[in-house]
């Protein structure tokens, strides 16, 4: 992969050893970076991210169906990277057990974050939002239980960039993304953006990694127990199995400001 040069404070920053320096957030030309990463392997993108952002780099994981791929790939390169897991308090028992298994196996530096509002308090104030069959109710739920804890995690960990396992073939929004994006003032890097299900299977098999246990019960994507279900022949896509088919995204990977949304819509991310 062609070496990338990153401008910081008007001077050219030389590459450093992985994970040895806390960098200030660089100002990246996202279009230029995306072009230079276009033919890079996913592991090369991870290596570039670590060298570019130093200790400002974190990763997030939902411990979903295929989460073992990114967790294994990234920690093989930088073992002690902080792994943010937003625990909504409504995950299936299988997810908690899977998370424990992968955490122990890969010796993850796991950082668990939860909403400041307990599930009982939220339900008392707003009702069982997921039963209201309304997109706005789902959005409020996601803001309380997912988005706010994630933003707090990034702030407390002083993250300048994060790695995530999003793929372009998952949702309409994700088709618009690039390898390196800007969200809420931080960079988000997507090393396996162009991968497909076959790539995932081959990686899991090559490294003897497990799928989430609900995969064997017909789940192709899994989130909270109340808004996930197995895939059926009536579903047009895997995301129809989430949020009662009312929406595709939980909010963690969507623009957080009007300016970001406008940038996304103009394909500058």
Q: Please identify every residue annotated as catalytic.
A: 250
| Ramachandran class of 185: left when φ > 0, alpha when ψ lies in -120 to 50, beta otherwise | left
CA distance 218 to 205: 19
Cβ neighbours, 10 Å, residue 25: 14
Quickly count: other Cβ atoms within 10 Å of residue 153's Cβ.
20
């Amino acid at each position: 992969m062609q070496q990338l040069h990153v401008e910081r404070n008007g001077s050219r920053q030389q590459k450093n050893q992985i994970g040895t320096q806390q960098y200030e957030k660089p100002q990246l030309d996202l279009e230029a970076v995306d072009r230079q990463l276009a033919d890079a392997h996913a592991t090369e993108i991870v290596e570039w991210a670590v060298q570019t952002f130093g200790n400002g780099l974190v990763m997030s994981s939902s411990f979903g169906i295929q989460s073992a791929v990114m967790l294994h790939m990234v920690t093989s390169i930088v073992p002690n990277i902080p792994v943010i897991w937003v625990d909504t308090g409504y995950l299936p028992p299988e997810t908690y057990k899977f998370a424990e298994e992968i955490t122990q196996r890969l010796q993850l530096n796991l950082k668990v974050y939860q909403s400041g509002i307990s599930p009982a308090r939220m339900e008392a104030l707003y009702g069982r939002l997921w039963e209201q069959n309304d997109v706005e109710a789902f959005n409020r739920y996601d803001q309380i239980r997912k988005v706010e804890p994630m933003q707090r995690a990034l702030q407390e960990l002083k993250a300048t960039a994060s790695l995530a396992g999003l793929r372009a073939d998952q949702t309409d929004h994700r088709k618009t993304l690039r390898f390196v994006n800007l969200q809420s003032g931080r960079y988000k890097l997507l090393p396996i953006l162009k991968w497909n299900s076959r790539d995932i299977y081959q990686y899991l098999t090559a490294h003897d990694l497990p799928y989430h246990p609900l995969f064997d019960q017909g789940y192709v994507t899994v989130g909270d127990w109340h808004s996930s279900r197995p895939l059926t022949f009536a579903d047009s896509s895997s995301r129809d199995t989430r949020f009662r088919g009312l929406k595709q995204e939980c909010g963690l990977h969507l623009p957080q400001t009007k300016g970001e949304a406008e940038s996304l819509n103009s394909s500058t991310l």
